Structure 1
Amino acid sequence: MKIDPKHLHLLAEIVDSGGLSEGAMALNKSQPSVSRTLSMLEARLGSRLFEKGKRPLRPTELCQSLAEQGRIIARAGKAAQIAAEMYQMGKAGTARIAGTPIFVDGVISSMIATFQREFPDVAIHQTYGYLPELTEQLNIGNIDLAICPVNANEVPKGISFEPVLQGHNVIACAPSHPLARRSTFNLAEISRYPWIAPPAGSPLYADLRGTLESIGVSDFKVSFTGGSLASIIAVLSGSETLTVLPYSVVFMQSHTKTLTTLPVTIGHPKRQLGLFWREDRAVRPAVSRFRQFLGREFLSIAQQIEKAG
């Protein structure tokens, strides 16, 4: 026998409220309509739901059993309401993001941790890539949001771009590096030390070559290439190597005291770190909330960097 879930909910409210009038009030219904529903339900069941002539109402064994199912339905309805509200507010759901390895590991990962402390019901699915791969993944719908440095005139067609940080590179090394412990040195001394080169396909690789040319270093030794940010920091820490990194990455790692910068002025790339998404695709609430969060976080970083001088 199929029973309307609303009727089970009604029984639960009557039993838990302690009376017909109270149950009707809890459901925002009139007492006559609730009485008619009870009569109809008893006729279908062929059994009484409340003992005859008892005041206050005394539920039968069958009524107690059905009322418990009504409570389950009420809890499920409330949970469904909360789930829908959480999703619509961007406090639950998923966000699929991808970005260049150095920025994701050095800057974005800590932002993800901060975001999920506030919104633990939003799952972040993160992968890596450079502009060509990120554009392809956006176009085919594998990711919702990309984070990548790019020249403004290189933004692909059909892609929205929100710049969040101006390009700013530095020469980085371990705090124990001989040059880091000196207040002055000449540029020729830089050429004595080996370099860590970013992956060949990354924008930083071109930046490294351009940086060395700009300071007059044409003959240099590369002792390590590629690798993650963690491996680059590990190599820097255990050797006298140098490398070129975005200043924001070094700034965000300052609390670890594993990186420092040399006081050498180098040219900055004509790129901006930015957020990318498809213009013609609906943005899920969780993705929108995370994108807005990243915008605020990068604004804060830019202000901190400016204040630090």
Structure 2
Amino acid sequence: MKRLDWYLQINLKARHLRLLMAIDTYRNLTQVAEVTHVTVPAVSKSLAELERGLGLALFSRTTRGLMPTPYGECLIRHARTMLGILHQVRDELKALSSGAEGKVRIGMLPASASVLVPQALGFLKQQSPGTNVTVIEGTTESLLPDLWQGRLDLVVGRLPPPDTLGSFEEKELLEEPVVLMTGRDHPLAQRKTLEWSDLCDYPWILPPPGSILRDPLERALEANDVPLSNNYIETLSIHVVRAHLQVSDFIAVMAESLGNDPVQPFHKLPLSLPRLLRPTGVLWNRNRGLTPSAQLMVSCLQAAAESLLMDLAATPSPTRAKRPRPAAGAS
């Protein structure tokens, strides 16, 4: 153990971490040599030195190529995290040396944050033009691992159940109900009164299986005796939802603010869903904390949520049953 401690603290270098990542990706020393622009003997020698220094076998040779041992899997997993931190340090140092004010990397759940995030970015650029932003759309399942490993600073969207948060810190931003939406020319949009049974003959645009909304939506429909037909589309793309509702008889579930689009207006069906989701909010890794740029972005997200509430309150909407409100604890 003393040898292992000494090697990790004194001799382990970033080049070792990059070598591990390359071998894990290609599982072949020849390919690793090609992408790293060194010779195969040099790659083999570096791997042997790393294994000898640690006193552990990191890879085993199989018919499928080099496969990581449990020791290798452990080190590779942490190598991803450490290289992510080094890249973050590099970006911040480059920003400081170039006169920029920093960089923040945001994961966005598009179905719930496609209105909030653009407005927050506008506030950010007004306050700090030199703070640059990378925005990546994805699902909770794809974004949270990147947040945990340090490849993202923030994730914005519907907050997951509290028991899934682990080491994540959260800030609630906006409590907004989800509603049933159709296009303006949908047959049900002409009806003054509506029963749940009236939905049974129409196809659906659904969130994909595994997304935050899918299971609670299915339970709500089942409770009202509305079976899902075999005619449906699954997507998290709000652009696809908006476009398809305009030209079809599909029904979709979305945040109410997304339906109040003056360019592409929709019709909200007068049927009340229970509270299916937690508020929209922002998550970060409490073990890493927030950079100054990320802190500024969080304050801009909060300002955007407050602005969105005021805009919705000022917009007349005969189909709105109730307005969104600030999430509990949001100032």
User: Residues 246, 154 of structure 1: CA spacing in aligned structure 2 closer, same or farther, 3 A cutoff?
Assistant: farther
User: 1:56 corresponds to which residue?
Assistant: none
Contact 1:95 1:286 in 2 (8 A): yes
Query: Is structure 2 residue 280 aligned with structure 1 residue 291?
Result: no
Distance in 2, Cα, partners of 1:263 & 1:86: 53
Which of 172, 177, 183 is residue 181 of structure 2 equivalent to? 172
User: Residues 248, 280 of structure 1: CA spacing in aligned structure 2 closer, same or farther, 3 A cutoff?
Assistant: same
Alignment: residue pair count: 222
Contact 1:138 1:144 in 2 (8 A): yes
User: 2:258 corresponds to which residue?
Assistant: 249
Distance in 2, Cα, partners of 1:189 & 1:152: 32
User: Residues 270, 141 of structure 1: CA spacing in aligned structure 2 closer, same or farther, 3 A cutoff?
Assistant: same
Contact 2:110 2:236 in 1 (8 A): no
1:244-303 CA distance string (max 9 Å, x none): 11223334xx22233231111111214122211122324222211111110121133345
User: 1:281 corresponds to which residue?
Assistant: 288
Which of 128, 138, 161 is residue 119 of structure 1 equivalent to? 128
User: Residues 222, 116 of structure 1: CA spacing in aligned structure 2 closer, same or farther, 3 A cutoff?
Assistant: farther
- DSSP-derived class of the 1:188 partner: helix
Distance in 2, Cα, partners of 1:227 & 1:131: 11
Distance in 1, Cα, partners of 2:229 & 2:185: 21
Residue 125 of structure 1, CA deviation:
0.3
- Which residue identity lines up with residue 261 of structure 1 in the other structure? K
User: 2:233 corresponds to which residue?
Assistant: 224
5+ residue gaps, structure 2, are: 1-95, 316-321, 323-331
User: 1:198 corresponds to which residue?
Assistant: 207
Residue 240 of structure 1, CA deviation:
0.8
Rg comparison, structure with higher value: 1
Distance in 2, Cα, partners of 1:227 & 1:148: 12
Residue 97 of structure 1, CA deviation:
0.3
* Identity level (%): 21
Q: TM-score, normalised by structure 1?
A: 0.63
Q: Deviation above 4 Å: which 4+ runs of structure 1?
A: 83-87, 303-308
Contact 1:193 1:221 in 2 (8 A): no
Which stretch shows the higher mean deviation, 237-246 or 116-125? 116-125
- Which residue identity lines up with residue 275 of structure 2 in the other structure? H
- DSSP-derived class of the 2:114 partner: helix
Contact 1:151 1:272 in 2 (8 A): no
Contact 2:111 2:236 in 1 (8 A): no
In the TM superposition, 1:132-211 aligns within 5 A as: 132-151=141-160, 153-211=162-220
Distance in 1, Cα, partners of 2:99 & 2:257: 33
